[in-house]
Structure 1
Amino acid sequence: MNSIVPKKTNLIIISVISLTILSIFCGVSRSHPHVFIVNRIKIVFDDKGLAGFNIHWKFDEMFAGMIAGDYDKNQNGFLEKNEIVLIEKEAFSYLANYNYFTFIKIGEKPFKVKFIQNFSAILNNNKLSYKFFVPCHVTATNNFKNITVAVYDPSYYSAIFFAEKNPAALDNSEAFEVRTAIKEDESTSIYYDMINPWALFLNFRIKQ
């Protein structure tokens, strides 16, 4: 009898561990990325300071094929204006519920992305890109203003990466002193707190 007890105990322990690992694995497998996006940001200035961000997404071939199959109605390999309008309505506008995957902080204060402008979708040689402008007006002063722009899907259904080449660019920035860096945003974590999304860290002021 005494020899049977540890065997049962071991079996229970093994079963509990196995179920725990299985439940973790199932949770992770449901959330792993299905869409892959390469991200570029152009930082746009006006005469007062920061005007906003032009966002450029390039999608993986599988997602591009799905969009082409659903919205390239005449199957000519290009997207006409009416097809782009439909893509924005049915396959993009819902991202308003998720900040358009564009999470901005001015200093430490979150900035809500309530709308975007100038959406376009481009299909060329079976490659799909989205472009859109995120207005974010911050007046320049003699002191540096600090802005953080992290582009990510909180659910991690889409994995978004900065492009290896030319991930960020400046537009109309001549009147300002601008510093930029792209690195992990350690203040934010997603995917069971295992991933820190990468972000654009922007500092700017009136040129001295």
Structure 2
Amino acid sequence: MRHFLPLCLLCLPLIGLAPRAAAHPHVWMELDMVLLTDKGSLTGFEITWTWDEVYSDPFRKTYDKNRNGTFEPAEAAELQNNEITSLAAFSEFVFVRVQGERVPVGTLKALTIGLKGDQMQFHFQVPLKKPIPLAGIGAGRTLTVGSYDPEYYIESTLPEDRPGVRFAAPPPGCTIKIIEDRKHPIYFGMVYPQVGAVTCAD
């Protein structure tokens, strides 16, 4: 049985990490991360992962049984039941940091699996365990958000034609700038993940 690579990565210590000289990454995922807010606080995220065509191909061929270019509800349910071993593991790939310290997030909910052309998409929500007040963020406090694989087997890329990290409804005075997180490199310290740095007025 195949398992989705993001979930298998949690088991890499059991099968041996790839040597540093090995080619990385092996899978590409385009990120769309929407920040959800309520009463001036960040409460969670709506996230879409769009997988590259090569990685998507065997799942598309196996589960799009009627070859209509989409996963019907029964096909998507079969894919999820057969391939995804732990919904909770998705949260390991969501990074929220306040003042550089990682903030815990809740468990994935409302997962849907679809197709965008030849690319498989996961769309889901991840709540914060505790809302983060946004007033003054970027002045006295830093806040960064992102979704990526810390082992760098998968490269998380941001789309070139639209903001990949954005607010569902931007609070007044809040902006997001895409930066490289140079304080928290991944893959033996050789890669700086892209994250959204949030700034909000007092």
Q: In the TM superposition, what whole-angstrom CA distance separates every residue of 1:173-197 from its partner, at most 9, and x where no partner exists? A: 34x3212111100111222211111
Report the more deviating stretch, 182-191 or 159-168. Answer: 159-168
Distance 1:29 1:71 in 2: 35
Say if 2:136 is the partner of 1:139.
Answer: no
Q: In the TM superposition, what whole-angstrom CA distance separates every residue of 1:74-132 from its partner, at most 9, and x where no partner exists? A: 33321012332343444445363363411111333312233012211221432222211
Cα separation, partners in 2 of 1:82 and 1:198, compared to 1, 3 Å: same
- How far the C-alpha of 1:159 sits from its partner, in A, is 0.9
- How do 1:26-65 residues align onto structure 2 when only pairs under 5 Å count? 27-28=19-20, 30=22, 32-65=24-57
Q: Tell me, yes or no, if the aligned pair for 1:31 and 1:157 is still in contact at 8 Å.
A: no
Q: CA RMSD in A?
A: 2.5
Please, what TM-score do these two structures have when normalized by structure 2?
0.75
Query: Which amino acid in the other structure matches residue 169 of structure 2?
Result: N
Which structure's CA Rg is the greater one? 1
- How far the C-alpha of 1:33 sits from its partner, in A, is 1.8
Q: Aligned residue for 1:189? A: 185
Report the more deviating stretch, 155-164 or 79-88. Answer: 79-88
Distance 2:175 2:44 in 1: 16
- How do 1:94-109 residues align onto structure 2 when only pairs under 5 Å count? 94=86, 96-97=88-89, 99-109=91-101
Runs ≥4 in structure 1, deviation > 6 angstroms?
A: none
Distance 2:151 2:193 in 1: 12
Cα separation, partners in 2 of 1:140 and 1:153, compared to 1, 3 Å: closer
SS at the partner of 2:28? strand
Q: Tell me, yes or no, if the aligned pair for 1:44 and 1:170 is still in contact at 8 Å.
A: yes
Please, what TM-score do these two structures have when normalized by structure 1?
0.74
Gaps of 5+ in 1: 1-25
Distance 1:47 1:124 in 2: 34
The structure with the greater share of residues assigned to helix is 1
